[in-house]
Every structure is written in structure tokens, then in C-alpha cells.
Amino acid sequence: MTVYDDCHVGHARVLIVFDLIYRWFLNSGYDVQYVRNITDIDDKIINKSNDKGCKFNELTDKYIDSMHEDSKALNVIPPTFEPKATEAIPSMIKMISILVDKGFAYVGKNGDVFFEIAKFKDYGKLSKKNVDDLDAGSRVKIDDNKKSFGDFVLWKLSKENEPSWESPWGKGRPGWHIECSAMSSDILGESFDIHGGGQDLIFPHHENEIAQSESCHDYKMANYWIHNGFVNVDDEKMSKSLGNFFTLKNVLKKYSGEVIRFFVYKSHYRSPLNYSDQNLNDAKAAVEKIYIALRPYNCIQVDLDWSKASLSKIKDALDDDFNSPQAISIIFELINQLNKVTNNDLANEIYSVLKALGLMAIPQDEYFTKSSKIDHDHIEKLIQQRAQAKFQKDYQKADELRNEIDSLGVILEDTVNGTVWRIK
């Protein structure tokens, strides 16, 4: 996360997708170290802090807190480590020094330090881009300070009134790409298992990370790369310029974090995700169906035997590149079974699978009755009056009370265990 503003729907997808992956590894018995880097110094942060007339770290602290609020609303587990770029400056300077000494980096005419992509023979292996095509296809004015169009900055000399740190090349600050390489190698080592992010990071960010990390350490940076797809809004790419940009806080005013998580799970993480009111309303209806199916049961979390026929298909789906849409489809097959016959064990299994995926975050009773606009005591009193009227066989009075309850936005359900209610 680059923390200069509130999270948007695209960030929500990243948070939820990698939370699913984190959860599934943990549920599969793996020992997981999950690092989520925070970029707390870059051009956007500096520009916005200047506009606001505040220190850059006051701005970033505010939006880090905002991100944590959003993560909690989405029931996202905190990562094992959440380093800030500004805490890893010494490691970045050390990496840049090694790259300069090994001939992969150079000081440009303006004093900035650049990585020379021509020196890294495997440049483009992640994005499948050809180095020669980068120069040939560029319409951008060539920067005379560096040797080639594709060379990227590792260290920027600071301008007046900009945050800066001492370095062998003068006071300045790191480039974006070196930040992530330093933070990840500090915590996970020179080579680790999985590196992830949104598809928009494949080039140039992740390509540049590979080039500088592998040139510095002489090790393969990551064994696997996982990238989630873009978020579209009504089939158009989300962007501020198109006016279809949604902050997560605004979306959470209308839909719960539970609904947003389910909405994200309904598409495979690598596929485009189409944000629309209709799709979120569908997700909301599906979540309600789950809660209604489990409501008659006082569900508890149980240890899951993934070898059982009812659960093995869910495991197979999630083991197959975290196929959440397939897993959700199988879960609904089990819910349909539960709707046909009372089965406490099956209810607990469904509940426990959903909990493992970060769903069922809202207590079952609270899901149906939580609302600041509903007077719970008044509803309970009307239900008691209706029960008394039915007992006295005053069915007209009972119907009138039911209609009154209905007018308050409440649905009654008469079950074998008594009358329960939920908000429309």
C-alpha cells in the first residue's frame, strides 16, 4: 500500500485475495510468514503533505490507521510483518551500494542513482517484455540524466523542503522499486516463496524488483508470482478520471465487509472483477441465504476432516490456485442439502468452512437484528403480545401485530423453536 489516501475497491480486492491465500496456507498446516509492505515515502505522499501543510509522516500515519480500519471491517487477518519503507532506508542504501560496486547501477548526470537494465540479462522475464522494444516503442522524451529510457531510479537527490536521508550520493530518498526489495529481503531473506500484488504491478514494479534483487543477491528473488486481476466498474476500468472511483469507506456505508468479501470470492482472483450495485446486491442476497440456512443451529467451530466427501471437493478447489468461486459453489450445494433435512453436524461443518475463509464474521443473531434504527425491546414486546394473542386464539389481533411489526422493517419467522425475527 502507498498510504497517501483512503483505500479504494481495488485495494479491498488485494487485501481480501491475499488474506484468502494466507488463511488457506494456515488451514493447510503451513508455517506462514506474510509480509505486507507499506510505502510511506514517495512523490504522491510528498505532494499531498505539502498541499495539506503537514509533515509527510503525519499524513502517512493517518492513512495507515485508515487502512487498518478498512482491513478490520473486511475481517482481514493482520500480516506477520508490516514494515514501512522509511524504517528500511539503511538496507536500501546497502543494496544500492552493492549494485553500484557490481556495475549494475550508476550515478546519472543529475546525481540520482539509476539501475541499468541492459546489464541484467533476464530483464523482462516476468512481464515477457523485450528490452529493445522498450526504447523503440517509447514516445516519452528521453531523460538525458540516464543512459537508457528503461533505466530506473534507485536513489533520488532531495529537492528543497523534501524529506531526505544521508547517503554516499548525497542527501536524498529511495526510489519506489528498491523500497520493496529491501523490506522483503530484510524479513524473508534473499530468496523466498511467493511475491504478490495487483496485475498493474507486473511491469515495471515487479520486473524492476527482480532485476535489482537478483543482481544484488545472486539468487532467484521469488519462486512464484501471484497477481490479482483488475477491478472494473460496470465493465469499465475504475479510475478517478472516469468518475467511477469508489473508496472502500463509502462502499462500507452501504454493504458490510462480509458482503464485499463474498463479492470478491465470487470471481477467481486472477480474473477481472466487475463492481456494480447489482453484483453487490447479489452477493448480499447470497450472504443472507447462508445466515438464514444456519440460523436454526447454534453453530460452533469444529475440526474439519478435509478427506470427507462433503469437504474434499472444497479442499480440491482451493488447492487448485485458490479457486474461491468453485469452493463457494460447493458450499452452496451443502447449504441446499441442509435446507432439506436437519443436520447439526453438517451445519457446524459449513459454518467452520466459512469461518476458515474469513466469512461468518458477524455473530449469527447480530447479523439479523443489528440496526441503530430498530428498537429491539419494542420488537420483542410486540412478538410477545402476538404470541399471547395467538394463544388466546385472537387471530385478528395476532395478524394486526404482525402487520405492525412488518411496517417497522422486520420479518417474522415462526419456527419449531419459537418465533425469530430479522431486519428486512
Give the residue numbers of the binding site for ATP.
Answer: 240
Dihedral-angle region of residue 291 (phi above 0 means left; psi in -120 to 50 means alpha; beta otherwise): alpha
Q: How many CB atoms lie within 10 A of CB 371?
A: 12
Binding-site sequence positions: 240
Instruction: Assign 3-state DSSP to the chain and report helix, strand, coil percentages, each to 5.
Output: 50, 15, 35
Closest CA to 238 of 201, 272, 205, 202: 272
Query: β-strands 236-237, 222-228: how paired?
Result: unpaired
Rounded distance, CA 345 to CA 292, Å?
A: 17
Rounded distance, CA 332 to CA 313, Å?
A: 12
Give residue 422's Cα distance to chain centre.
Answer: 30
User: In Å, what is the CA distance from 73 to each residue of 82, 110, 244, 256, 257?
Assistant: 18, 46, 22, 8, 5
Which of the 8 DSSP states describes residue 230?
P
User: In Å, what is the CA distance from 186 to each residue of 175, 180, 325, 404?
Assistant: 17, 10, 35, 63
Buried b (16+ CB within 10 A) or exposed e, 259-284: bbbbbbbebbbeeebbbeeeebeebb
Beta bridge mates, 422: 411
Three-class SS state of 256 = coil
- Cis-peptide, bond into residue 204, ω within 30° of zero: yes
Dihedral-angle region of residue 409 (phi above 0 means left; psi in -120 to 50 means alpha; beta otherwise): left
The per-residue DSSP string of 165-227 comes to: B--TT-SEEE-HHHHHHHHHHHHH-SSEEEEEEEGGGIIIIIHHHHHHHHHHHSS-SEEEEEE
Rounded distance, CA 275 to CA 282, Å?
A: 11
Three-class SS state of 413 = strand
User: In Å, what is the CA distance from 17 to each residue of 24, 36, 147, 223?
Assistant: 11, 13, 39, 19
